[in-house]
Amino acid sequence: MVARGRVLVLSGAGLSTESGIPDYRGAAGSLRKHTPMTYQEFVDSPDARRRYWARSHLGWRTIARARPNDGHRAVAALRAAGHLSGVITQNVDGLHQAAGTSDAVELHGSLDRVVCLDCGRTSPREELDRRLRAANPSFEGEATRINPDGDVDLDEGQVRGFRVVGCADCGSGVLKPDVVFFGENVPPERVRRCYRLVDQSRALLVLGSSLTVMSGLRFVRHAAKAGKPVLIVNRGQTRGDACATVRVDLPLGRALTDLVAQLAGSGLSGTGLPGAASTAGPVPPG
């Protein structure tokens, strides 16, 4: 399937677990112990924003240090070799871009940008990090676990004295990471762009996503409805399994690295992924 080209990748948090960033819903997923900030809570509550920024201020250090793993590098290699028509990622960690896939569509935004909810100014996360360090010189909370949304678990006592800063441009605006929070909608133009990528592709390859939320699942359903092959590689079941032509349960780094090597060496046909199992009829050749 991949060898014939025009394959669109849709990646999720499972692709970044080998870089030390946990997923939400896997066996050790953070949703078992962590409730992500919702958009409404963030905009309505100064205390909620203080809690988010204190936790995220520490979590950002781990996200910023994370490096692409074999899976990210394999996707970049497949894109460079012309096998992929595009990449959509549900991740907000920037690791696809760091691996060389500069045109990956960030469906849920990126933690390395900050936006002012009042004036709309977008600024680098590094700038905010410097300002928060200056405003909180003695803040040395101990992070117990990093979460996929970039924050960590902190005791409320560590959060209480944290100082939040406003927009450096307008002076009073509320700053928010340029990511889609739970309860917030993906910008419509970004959604339309992703649908266009699905329409222009020959097949869809899902990597490391449980497809639990509709923001990613809709593209799988759209591809399946159009009769395009859907290959899902994920540890554990997904909400999109009924749409899958092929379903594979393998570690992503190993599976994708093997795929790149096989495609480079043998002009492989079929999926190229060991352990692939058809769930919806025969696999189209190549």
Pick out the residues of the known binding site for NAD(+).
Answer: 12-32, 90-93, 208-210, 234-236, 252
Closest listed residue to residue 207, CA positions, set 168, 255, 165, 162: 255
Indicate which residue of 57, 72, 108, 222 is catalytic: 108
Closest by CA to 3, choosing from 219, 203, 228, 257, is 203
Count CB atoms within 10 A of the CB of residue 46.
9
How many of the other CB atoms lie within 10 Å of CB of 136?
A: 18
What DSSP string describes 80-132? Answer: HTT-EEEEEE---S-HHHHHT-TT-EETTEEEEEEEETTT--EEEHHHHHHHH
CA dist 13 and 215 (Å) reads 14
9 closest CA partner among 198, 192, 150, 148: 198
Q: How far apart are alpha carbons 245 and 74 in whole angstroms?
A: 22
List beta partners, residue 37. Answer: none
111: tokens are 């933690």
222 is catalytic: no
Please report, in range form, the residues annotated as the binding site for Zn(2+): 116, 119, 167, 170
Binding residues: 12-32, 90-93, 116, 119, 167, 170, 208-210, 234-236, 252
Active site residues: 108
